[in-house]
Amino acid sequence: MDLAGSFVPPTIEWFALSPYIALVAGVLVLLLGSLTPQWPHGWYGLVSATSAGSAGVLAILQFANLADETPRTLVRGTLAHDRFGLLAFIAICIAVVFTSMTTVDAASGRVSATSTSSRNQSDSLEHYALLLTAALGAAIMVTANDLVVSFLGIETLSLSLYVLAASDRRRTASQEAGLKYFILGGFASAFLLYGIALVYGTTGQTSMTGIANILASEVSVPRNDAMLLAGVALLLVGFGFKVSLVPFHSWTPDVYQGSPTHVTGFMASLGKVAAVVALVRLFVVAFPTRADDWRPVVFGLAVLTLVVGSVLAIVQSDVKRMLAYSSISHAGFMLVGLEAAGHVGSSSADNGVSSALVYVVLYSVLALGSFAAVSVVSQKNPSVSAPNNGESSTSLDSFNGVAKTNPVFALGFTVLLLAQAGVPLTSGFVAKFGVIRAAVSTESYVLAVVAMVSAVIAAYLYLRIMVSMWLSEPTAGGTLPITPRVMSVSSRVTLGLAVTLTLVLGILPTWLLDVSDSLTSLAR
């Protein structure tokens, strides 16, 4: 048999794949840069931001084109081409651009001796290449229509984040964070791979569309789904680790606190977008016929995540740990949307799909801005106890009196904190209202009440930080004033854009709400 003659290559839609190609091009440019003398300071970050920005623009063009086109799959059904995935792709590109800017700021050496000593590490070519490879893995995750392709995207993203978490070699906390993330991430990957194997063994398919078709056509009496349900459970465990769902959240506070602050913001935004969108796509596309089996588990995980994340956040004394537990609580809100989407047959189930995506995209902007603000404070407040080893202070006391030296900075950070609390006229309110409305419309009243109570509890966390900035006096010893003069241009731009998007989408959410109606048509 002539195998070469019978092989039919897949049709490649190059323009549809152009956002991925733009990210790969950026990685190749940085790879070529490794063969040349070191570039001037900031050029690596410019390549990274330009590559991600170009990919984002291409994704926006295709997002607009899909208003008149039917969602479809690419490369023999392995990648989905729909607005659901493209909006997440755009958020991923924004995360890379913002992080590239804050990384250049962290390595600029203009704020303190601590940051000067970190220039060779933070401004290295490898650092920006890892940002792009992480973005490429995340982009594959949010559009993958095949379990194997999704796993490849997860591993590409995860390996990049492991190295980024441990990238500050002067700090033992950073190395410890990378090691913890790597070990626990390896266990999560094993759960995912075993779950994929069981699902494949049951259905004979790795394509999400193929799995859905097989399950929809099979009627077993009596029903015998033990292997399939075990596979689904293992997949949920693996993704639960990536999303930071309770009880799979134990890595999050330590890794967030130990990683360089700009890397923490990157993980909290890009990592959350990739994991949540991939999780929603998997269960909505591949397992809608088994929704009655997985929805109660999602309900329980959502309640645990909301309560534990909110309660533990308010007892922390380090701002990065506070925001880490806050991100866990936000993951619970995102899971509320998935639980609503699990009410297959309900006319409001689609609201759960769109609300979960809108929530994670809006949260990614808040996380980027919030951790950028924390990065500014930590760079200006080196730890008194360890001034020469690169440690920086992110304790709550470091924020005391910030508003007295830079009220504009404090006001911007306050807006981001209020948005995370869900205060009206901010994007956070739009996000929380969307998922709670989806829960109520599908009659998940208990989950809606738990979500609202958790939001009230978590508000105390953000209030503590605001009180420190506006009402507390600066801590004696080692605290430097954060004046507008010492804030870099990249810090101002990043915070300014984050605050602007937060307010604009909160005050004028009409466009976002109109777009959300088109996010429920997933390529199958």
pLDDT in tens, 244-259: 998 998 899 999 998 8
Rounded distance, CA 522 to CA 331, Å? 22
Residue 333 is encoded by which pair of tokens? 């809100």
Confidence of residue 380 (pLDDT cuts 50, 70, 90): low
pTM, 2 dp: 0.91
For residues 218 and 168, which has the higher predicted lDDT (pLDDT)? 168
Residue 249 exposure: Cα atoms within 13 Å on the Cβ side: 29
Rounded distance, CA 54 to CA 226, Å? 46
Confidence of residue 476 (pLDDT cuts 50, 70, 90): low
For residues 118 and 510, which has the higher predicted lDDT (pLDDT)? 510
Which of 33, 48, 154 shows the shortest CA–CA distance to 96? 48
Residue 18 is encoded by which pair of tokens? 């152009």
Residue 203 exposure: Cα atoms within 13 Å on the Cβ side: 27
Q: What is the pLDDT of residue 387?
A: 39
Confidence of residue 306 (pLDDT cuts 50, 70, 90): very high
Alpha helices in 244-385 (DSSP H): 251-258, 261-266, 272-281, 291-313, 319-341, 349-380
Confidence of residue 25 (pLDDT cuts 50, 70, 90): very high
Rounded distance, CA 184 to CA 189, Å? 9
Residue 233 is encoded by which pair of tokens? 């459970």
Q: What is the pLDDT of residue 393?
A: 72
Q: Which of 153-157, 365-369, 372-376 has the lowest mean pLDDT?
A: 372-376
The residues pairing with 72 across neighbouring beta strands, listed in sequence order, are 81
Confidence of residue 479 (pLDDT cuts 50, 70, 90): very low
* C-alpha dihedral, 120 to 124 to 126 to 132, nearest 10°: 140
Residues making up the chain, counted from first to last: 524
Residue ranges of domains in the chain? 13-516
Q: What pLDDT, in 10s, does the model give residues 249-303? A: 889 999 999 888 889 999 999 999 999 999 999 999 989 988 888 999 999 999 9
Residue 281 is encoded by which pair of tokens? 């796509």
The answer to whether the CB of 424 falls within 8 A of the CB of 323 is: no
Specify the DSSP class assigned to residue 374: H
The answer to whether the CB of 174 falls within 8 A of the CB of 165 is: yes
Q: What pLDDT, in 10s, does the model give residues 149-163? A: 999 999 999 999 999
Rounded distance, CA 272 to CA 276, Å? 6
Q: What is the pLDDT of residue 385?
A: 38
Confidence of residue 2 (pLDDT cuts 50, 70, 90): low
The answer to whether the CB of 362 falls within 8 A of the CB of 276 is: no
Find all residues with CB under 8 Å of 55, minimum gap 6, and list them: 18, 19, 20, 22, 23, 89, 93, 135, 139
Which amino acid makes up residue 384? V
The residues pairing with 395 across neighbouring beta strands, listed in sequence order, are 318
Rounded distance, CA 244 to CA 327, Å? 8
